[in-house]
Chains A and B, each alone.
Chain A
């Protein structure tokens, strides 16, 4: 009695996860997304410092998060 692995069963699963038609991944495919450097705000401290600089030197602010007020620099 031999067991053959049915790889065909798994192929649609992988294809549906990486395909163009359907977005998103299964929980066990989050290996890369789970990394710190893949978070949308990977360096919040850098962002806060940059936001402050550009808020005080340019006419735009916010977009990524709140533009806010907070200082008398503009």
Chain B
């Protein structure tokens, strides 16, 4: 290929937004160009120029999830969104905030924290994920089953399209059914229909008090009994996670199946929840303060393979045990039916686990894995192929954004 296409992109962008491409390698591919635009319209300009030039763009923020989805097949231009990071609007009494996609979750939490509020999201590996990345991957953590997913808190987005247009859906009000909810389509789509450049959220008051307890169990059945009873008791729970023995050991706890729980809310409700949990579990311990932080970081580890299974809650303990039996560290967030498997487990074990989940109408998704593994073992299917292709044809006919992430031709 000649240099002409890259030159036309370079020409379209302000010179001060160009970066050295070396720092933007993904899946072993280094792009030819990299840009960090300062504004949403500049991001749209970049997409339009790349689209016109037939180049492939990979949008990115904190680069914590670059091993998500199928390996990129082509990669010409890096779109670094971290320069687009303003808080556009924050009205504490409305419990709404609108931010640009490149802002980190940490920065959003800092701003909201000044008013005793927060975004109830704990995507891995930590608060340095950008909002855009968090939405594009739809990653969630231990809070998901109790506080909802990013989709549930999202009020609207603005995306930059390969055509160079900026398109909005939803709005900034907490309840709204005006038009199609394209923002739900964009969440978790890895940019298939445009690059999210702005998002509006419903925020929550910070809980007055939180408390974390751990209950080590004799075996997985006992752990499941405690976890299940805790869930059924409808306590002031923010996180309820069943750790396999290996996962517990990894977190510095005794190597036994262990239920860890976080209660959050009014002080009296948290105290009563803790009492009931102690009653249900028999024996509890107060683990070190950074337990959840460590668990979240392990989930977001990019040095090994991380898979997420979705299974009926009643199957969580069995799947955790099977995954640890295959040599991984595994834990399950009961209410969401999400089991995270961490470690270098092989393709055969992944296939077995996927079959186990699919038998119960669940799924397995690779959230991070080496390129070779992701070539051999599809990280995830995009959904109904005909519909996804038809949508992609209309939003990004040339597959300018993240070509191949959802499989060949997508």
Partners in one complex: no
Which residues from chain A sit less than 8 Å from chain B, CB to CB? none
Which residues from chain B sit less than 8 Å from chain A, CB to CB? none
